[in-house]
Amino acid sequence: MTWETVIGLEVHVQLGTRSKLFCGCSTNFGDPPNSNVCPVCLGLPGALPVPNAMAVRLAVRAALALECGVQEVSVFARKNYFYPDLPKGYQISQFDRPIATNGKLQIDSADRGPVAVSIQRLHIEEDAGKLLHDRIPGKTAIDLNRAGVPLAEIVSGPDLRSPAEARSYLTALKQILVYSGVSECNMEKGSLRVDGNISVRRPGERELGTKTEIKNLNSFANLERALGAERVRQLALLEGGGRVEQVTLLFNAGTGEVRPMRSKEESHDYRYFDDPDLPPLKVGAGTLEEIRAELPELPGAKRSRLMSVYGIGAYDAGVLASERSTADYFEAVCRLGPDPKSAANWIMNETGAHPAPEALAELIGLVADGTVSHQAAKRIYPELHGGSAPREVAARLGILQVRDEDALRRWVDEVVAAHPDEVVRYRAGESRLLAFLTGQVMKRSRGTADPKGVQAMLARRLEDS
């Protein structure tokens, strides 16, 4: 019997502000414990939160990038629970009136092709602090540097059908958020965190199965592994005639297994209510348009445009569009006139920092008009970073391509004379020696000869007599 897997993800991303959501403390990662704290984020008596306008802007930007409807009025609410990393005993979040709802994100599924995954909601909330269990023997220490760091929680619909699709979704989400300058999305630094909800059902069923939630999956690979493991666990339960309990699970990356959280680690009733310290958050039409105008062209749109404007293939366009800086560089080079396909190849194949667009454009031109060989151009390329012009580098290296027939003939004659044995063996049918002899000619030309021309001339010369 077959089963359908249904997955939805809850993703927390840190909004890339310099200061916290409700106070002026730095959000810098890795500072000494409790060095970025003040009365507000410590929850001292009498302190009050004041919203960070930049955090709100970035959340709106994320919402627009994900094609959400941005609410003109949204409301901060208190989510009440006791935990030592939560200084106020409540987290300021958004509950029944989030800042954005009803978006979508396009992903490429290996099984289903392009899929539009729905985004149910995006809301703003503050992060909690961090408990350190290894700092003081026998005690738990609290670092509140993260307390109050701005986050956006992005909740997808139950639209993903496999762990691999979940991973594609997270990859696409990260790409779009990094692209639009919303977040660094760095899992190691905690600026991207993901919880997965998963259930299974018979294909064609409309009701969702009982879901479980897997908390804090710390890498893209572990997201896929954990969902895969939980899928197997649920199927085993159901096929064995059992049923799935709605529980929260933790993934053990070491064993590859999921285990239920202790019930104490769960909280059941957060007693949400509107935070009276914060007036409703308003995003006017003017501000919304301003933020929309700031929004860069997003990866999907950019990919299509690169294909249509520059005539490059879908794969190349996808690679170039995956990072904003790469695509920008590609376009800067193309504006200077060289063949876009060659430009794309150079940019995708050469690792490391790219030279000035002018330099690459000129280099492509030199190859195209035969001034240097492709081989020679590859030697020139790394020399361009200092700002040198390609033609000068070629001259300095002595590798401007030689098309002088007399010079070529002279080198061919010298090589034939110097390797009589090889010439005899070649003529006797050992045809692979042509490459060896061509190499000898190239050596004499110090790389400046056109290898194809050399090979052709050698072949003719060796057949002649």
Q: Which residues bind other proteins (CB under 8 A)?
A: 39, 42-51, 78, 80, 82-84, 87-90, 140, 142, 264, 268-269, 271-273, 275-279
The least distance separating other proteins from the CB of residue 83, rounded to whole angstroms, comes to: 8
The least distance separating other proteins from the CB of residue 265, rounded to whole angstroms, comes to: 12
| C-alpha dihedral, 151 to 155 to 156 to 157, nearest 10° | -170
User: What stretch of H or E contains 410?
Assistant: helix 405-418
The least distance separating other proteins from the CB of residue 315, rounded to whole angstroms, comes to: 50
Select 277 or 414, whichever has its Cβ closest to other proteins. Answer: 277
The tokens describing 210, both together, are: 């009982």
Select 43 or 157, whichever has its Cβ closest to other proteins. Answer: 43
Select 278 or 336, whichever has its Cβ closest to other proteins. Answer: 278
Select 46 or 254, whichever has its Cβ closest to other proteins. Answer: 46
The least distance separating other proteins from the CB of residue 51, rounded to whole angstroms, comes to: 7
d(CA 342, CA 241): 60
The least distance separating other proteins from the CB of residue 84, rounded to whole angstroms, comes to: 5
The least distance separating other proteins from the CB of residue 197, rounded to whole angstroms, comes to: 20
The least distance separating other proteins from the CB of residue 144, rounded to whole angstroms, comes to: 8
Select 19 or 180, whichever has its Cβ closest to other proteins. Answer: 19
The least distance separating other proteins from the CB of residue 352, rounded to whole angstroms, comes to: 47
The least distance separating other proteins from the CB of residue 129, rounded to whole angstroms, comes to: 10
Select 271 or 427, whichever has its Cβ closest to other proteins. Answer: 271
d(CA 3, CA 202): 5
Kindly write down the DSSP assignment for every residue of 220-268, as one continuous string: HHHHHHHHHHHHHHHHHHHHTT------EEEEETTTTEEEEPPGGG---
Q: Residue ranges of the alpha helices (H) in 80-203?
A: 163-179
Longest CA–CA separation in the chain, Å: 102
The answer for 398, left when phi > 0, alpha when psi is -120 to 50, beta otherwise, is left
Select 271 or 385, whichever has its Cβ closest to other proteins. Answer: 271
For tokens 């020679």, name the residue: 376
Strands (E), 241-353: 248-252, 257-260, 273-274, 281-282
Residues in contact with 80: Cβ distance below 8 Å, sequence separation at least 6, in sequence order: 89, 90, 270, 271, 272
Select 132 or 407, whichever has its Cβ closest to other proteins. Answer: 132
Q: φ and ψ at 233, to 5 degrees?
A: -60, -45
Which amino acid makes up residue 241? G
Q: How buried is 76 (Cβ within 10 angstroms: 0-12 exposed, 13-18 middle, 19+ buried)? A: buried
Residue 377 CA from chain centroid, whole number: 31
Select 99 or 327, whichever has its Cβ closest to other proteins. Answer: 99
